[in-house]
Amino acid sequence: MIIRNLVVGLMAATAVNLTSTNPSFNRVHTQSADTLLAGTWYLQPVLPSDMASGSVASINFDLSRNSFTGSTGCNVMRGQFKRSGKGLMFNDQVVTTRMSCPGYNEANFLRNLLRTNSYRIEKGILILMVDNTELSRWTRKVTKPKKTDTV
């Protein structure tokens, strides 16, 4: 019995020692939702008109400065945001370049961005929402809209 307790104790001590001395082991499952938001995301276009300008909207979150940069899908944009838990709000002072965007409703894109008051990240997809209603979906890779058959 004493030998069994000694063996179990040594195994437990070894397991504790391995997890505390192996930093990569400890980090595997500890990335929080906050740090998942950081970096560049690309709009998942829903309609072909979402890419009428020829490019996909993107947003890059800098969590240390609470700022973002990106593209509206036509113009370069930058601004500030605030986070609180799952709350996310963009400051209405978004600065953009002023290129013409024929066929692309940039004003609607910006209006929806400013309506955002929360987010969630689900299976690697960033979902911007207003009052639990989905506004847009963003991914880490550029995706093109699905082709629809029109007659």
Taking residue 130's Cβ as centre, other Cβ atoms within 10 Å add up to: 13
CATH number of 33-139: 2.40.128.270
Is the pLDDT assigned to residue 11 strictly greater than 60? no
Residue 142 has a pLDDT of 84
Mean pLDDT of 67-75: 95
Domain boundaries, the chain: 1-30, 33-139
Residue 104 confidence (pLDDT): 85
Contacts of 103 (CB under 8 A, 6+ apart): 49, 52, 53
Q: Given this model, what pLDDT does residue 146 score? A: 58
| Residue 24: its H or E element | helix 23-27
Averaged pLDDT of the chain: 78
Q: Does residue 40 have a pLDDT over 60?
A: yes
145 versus 114: the higher-pLDDT residue is 114
For the whole model, what pTM was predicted?
Answer: 0.71
Give one word for 131, left, alpha or beta, with left for phi > 0 and alpha for psi -120 to 50: left
Q: Which amino acid, residue 43?
A: L
pLDDT 10s digits, 75-115: 999 999 999 988 999 999 999 999 998 888 899 999 999 99
For tokens 């829903």, name the residue. Answer: 46
